[in-house]
Amino acid sequence: MKIIMLGAPGAGKGTQAKMIAEKFGIPHISTGDIFRSNIKEGTQLGTEAKKYMDQGLLVPDELTVKILLDRVAKEDCAGGYVLDGFPRTIPQAEVLDEALEKLNEKIDYAVNVDVPDDNIVKRMSGRRACLKCGATFHMEHIPPKQEGICDSCGGELVLRDDDKQETVQNRLKVYHDQTQPLIDYYTKKGVLKSVDGTMEMKAVFQLISEIIKEEK
Ligand code: AP5
Ligand code: MG
């Protein structure tokens, strides 16, 4: 089963994608997480990506597409995957579709987690991410047991560089200009499912679970 998560920055794509991955036993693939781990390791890709990410801009398609196609070609993706943060532009979606067509495969669901812009800014300022394992917490909604420390691995929790308020505004603008058109794209393909992402996380997951039926 192949699932795409769509939604504004901070809509809860990552939160829901992790739960889906666990429930269905498929890998959770976040291009944002791949870029952040490259930044942490100081790779050339990380240095290049950081220039864009810190401004709230998209990393160019040429860099992003290759990474994603390499990742989904790995053995653990044979039974499907949940993509979080990819595609983010129409050209990215087209490249993915072409690659899948060659394998006689297709996307089963594009889940749009719908949250209005004003809710987003509040969420982002409360988010804390683990530097070591990428787990996310929220100061109000999912506080860690011990302040500043990751419950899963004991790593340090930080405010992401691109979660600063001005950058969040840029990311929202980029989302509306470049990513929102994908909602029409996947509607036309008949795979778009929208859920109200303003509800409590478990309630959002319940809705998504009702949509995703394993037998598809
Ligand atoms: P990426 O890491 O994908 O960031 P994003 O899309 O901006 O999304 P976020 O990770 O910020 O939000 P999310 O929807 O995953 O929300 P989360 O679950 O964490 O990308 C970062 C950057 O990398 C991009 O800006 C770009 O530069 C680059 N990039 C990545 N992919 C790219 C691509 N394909 N092409 C080009 N560039 C690319 O939730 C947010 C917070 O809210 C958390 O604290 C969470 O705990 C809380 N929360 C979640 N759900 C709820 C709920 N229901 N109620 C209350 N709080 C909630
Ligand atoms: Mg995310």
Q: Are 52 and 36 in contact (CB under 8 A)?
A: no
- Per DSSP, 74 falls in state S
The single residue listed with the structure tokens 């959770």 is 28
> Side-chain half-sphere of 111: how many Cα atoms within 13 Å?
30
Q: Which structure tokens are listed for 179?
A: 């990513």
Q: Closest ligand 1 atom to the C-alpha of 86?
A: 34
- Global confidence as pTM: 0.92
Read off the tokens for 79.
């039974």
> Can you list the positions of beta strands (E) in the chain?
2-6, 28-30, 81-84, 109-114, 127-130, 136-138, 157-158, 192-196
pLDDT of 215: 46
Nearest-atom number in ligand 1 for the CA of 204 is 53
Determine if residue 115 is left, alpha or beta; phi over 0 gives left, psi from -120 to 50 gives alpha, anything else beta. Answer: beta
Ligand 2 center from residue 85 Cα (angstroms) = 7
Tokens of 15: 């939160």
Strands 136-138 and 127-130, bridge-based pairing: antiparallel
- Which protein residue has the closest C-alpha to ligand 1 atom 45? 138
pLDDT tens per residue, the chain (216 residues)? 999 999 999 999 999 999 999 999 999 999 999 999 999 999 999 999 999 999 999 999 999 999 999 999 999 999 999 999 999 999 999 999 999 999 999 999 999 999 999 899 888 989 999 988 889 999 988 999 999 999 999 999 999 888 988 899 999 999 999 999 999 999 999 999 999 999 999 999 999 999 997 545
Phi, psi of 157 (to 5 degrees): -95, 130
Catalytic residues: 13, 88, 127, 160, 171
Question: Residue 196, SS3?
Answer: strand
Ligand 1 lining (C-beta closer than 6 Å): 7, 9-15, 30-32, 35, 52-53, 56-59, 64, 85-86, 88, 92, 123, 126-127, 136, 138, 141-142, 162, 171, 197, 199-201, 204
Query: Residue 52, Cα to own-chain centre: how many angstroms?
Result: 17
Q: Is residue 102 packed enough to be buried (19+ CB in 10 Å), middle (13-18) or exposed (0-12)?
A: exposed
Q: How far, in Å, is the centroid of ligand 2 from the Cα of 30?
A: 7
Looking at residue 6, its pLDDT comes to 98
